[in-house]
A and B are shown apart, each in its own frame.
Chain A
Amino acid sequence: MNAQNVGKINFVGALITLATIFAAILWAFPIYWGIISSLKPEDEVVRPYIELWPDTLTFQHYWFALTQTQIGRWYINSIGTAVGVTFLTVTTSMFAGYAISQLNFPFRRTLYWIILASFMVPTQVLIINHFVLIANLGLLNTWAGIILPQLIHPVIIIIYKQFFDQVPKDFREAAVMDNAGEFRILFKVYMPLNWGVTTAVSIVTFIWSWNAFLWPFLAVTKTELMTITVGITQVNDAFGVYYARQLSAAVLAGFPVALAYLLFQRKVTEAITLSAGIKG
């Protein structure tokens, strides 16, 4: 579309650009508003007129969460379990995706259809089975217990399969000529060629795992093992008016991932664009 701007003074074009920028600001405004409200004392939050910047800037709501709760541990649990889910999901999916894409074995198609079908089951319905299972394995209140049921992400296999399918056959043939075994082909050829996909898929899985609530909630009964999304629901020091307090808890839960995104934005954008199976 940049071609259209070449050499022309474009009134409509400029209008569209302005509109886009304005829309973006409006779009992100609720997030800004939520953050600003969390920095006000409660009695200011409920003033009837709009104050876009706090009259009294206060961190009291954050202070409570940061000092009176185990928020540090919650962050660690979130990071640990999210990394675990990401690593396991990505590796097992990559292996399976490679097999389905490149190898011939009995029931290959059936397996692929089952994987597709599982994309259509809402995971909430499986949650009780998961709970009984994890309890019987003695994994409640452990990272393993939080991680295990979160490993269902069939779409990752599908993505890997698509990408492995698109690797030009010559690479494979050359490797086979060199008498390389399948494992070497995977690790030395296919994986390096698709590093972008792996990055993309890892990031997306990490976000999904970080934001999970229902399962980590059921799987953990001890405060020190909660993830941030679960722990933050416990944060409360009084009743009464609590809008700012709840918003600050929300900010604390979402902040790390948002920060990580802003820092690594370029990479994430590239990565996710690739993950849809479309080459940019």
Chain B
Amino acid sequence: MLRNHKSETIVAMILIAPFIAIYGLIFIYPTVDMFLLSFQKAPLIGDGTWVGVDNYTRLASDRRFDTAFWNTAYFVALSVVPGTFVALFISLGISRLSGRIQALVLALFFLPYILPVSVVYRIWDWTLNFQFGIAMHVFDWLGFDRIPIFKITGWFMPAVAFVTIWWTAGFSILLFLAGLRAIPVEIYEASSLDNASRWQTFRKITWPLLWPVTALVLTIQLISQLKIFDQVYLFSTGGRPNDNLVMVYYIFQRAFVNNHGGRAAAIAVVLFIIVIVVSVLNFQLMRFAGKKQ
């Protein structure tokens, strides 16, 4: 292949220039600013004084940080793997259908993904409303006491995880559907001739072939849920915010309610590092599991 090195570089520069310009302005610059801010004692807006690693060392004895950290870990555990498997099984169900029924069923499962989080919040706050929510009748039918779901600490995280899975599963379902479509029909025909059971087919054929997609979905979910904020914030209003804190919510609280810009920045940096570490671990794990298939 003929390549003119110099002109290639120039062309490349031209192509990436718009991106770099915007990116530098709205990402690089504010992020560097945030790093610098984390070493200062400063309000949300305004100048601060240099305090070194003070904001970081405080975190070791910060109760709310501790709560936020473990709540985030808990939330991730509740939503990433279950969410992925819920999406997987739904897509297995959908891929068996065809034609209009399939289109309708897919639309029903995908619709929540289109909604903004504030709408998702309104709908579920209303459905699970302690006094008037329709879901309360389910408790009645099962013979339990009605439970004010979002006000009881034990129920809060699972409920928010449930709503989050409901909201975001649509996207994962589509990915799985695409992955399923990519598996050649002949393989299934061969296995049905061998009289393989449904479960065997799934374990020996579908699952391994689908693994790249599963890994992708798990990764996307993992990084997204580490950064969760909106749902937790909305469902905590008037309730028990300090018990329900997650990392980004704590950052928000420190910055916008307590007016501690420097401390909030430090927590943000810590979160950033956590996400990187988790992503690298995840990447290695996926590679290892992929080799096993």
Contacts and interface: CB of A to CB of B under 8 A. Distances in A.
A273 B175 contact: yes
B31 A126 contact: yes
B26 A151 contact: yes
B26 A24 contact: no
- Secondary structure dominating the interface of A: helix
A122 B275 CA distance: 10
A30 interface: yes
Interface string A64-78: 000000000000000
B123 A124 contact: no
Interface string B279-291: 1000000000000
Contact of B16 (A12, A88, A96, A280): A96
B118 A152 contact: no
Interface string A241-268: 0010011011101100110011001100
A213 B117 contact: yes
A251 B18 CA distance: 37
Interface string B8-30: 11011101101110110111111
Interface residues of B, number: 99
Contacts of A33: 123, 126-127, 134
A260 to B, nearest CB: 9
B30 A258 contact: no
Contacts of B127: 30, 33-34
A106 B212 CA distance: 31
Given A276-B213, A280-B181, A280-B182, A213 B276 contact: no
Contacts of A238: none
Contact of A122 (B23, B29, B132, B229): B229
B92 A1 contact: yes
B232 interface: no
Interface string B150-194: 000000000000000010000100110111111001001100100
Nearest to A8: B192
A23 B117 contact: no
13 contacts: A2-B96, A6-B192, A20-B94, A34-B122, A34-B127, A45-B132, A92-B19, A95-B15, A103-B12, A125-B264, A181-B11, A247-B126, A250-B119
5 cross-chain pairs, A with B, having the tightest CB-CB distances, nearest first: A20-B93, A129-B30, A211-B116, A273-B178, A96-B19
Interface of A: 1-6, 12-13, 16-17, 19-21, 23-25, 27-28, 30-31, 33-34, 37, 45-46, 48, 50, 88, 91-93, 95-96, 98-100, 103-106, 108, 111, 114, 117-122, 124-126, 128-130, 132-133, 148-149, 151-152, 157, 169, 172-173, 176, 181-183, 186, 207, 210-211, 213, 229, 232-233, 243, 246-247, 249-251, 253-254, 257-258, 261-262, 265-266, 269, 272-274, 276-280
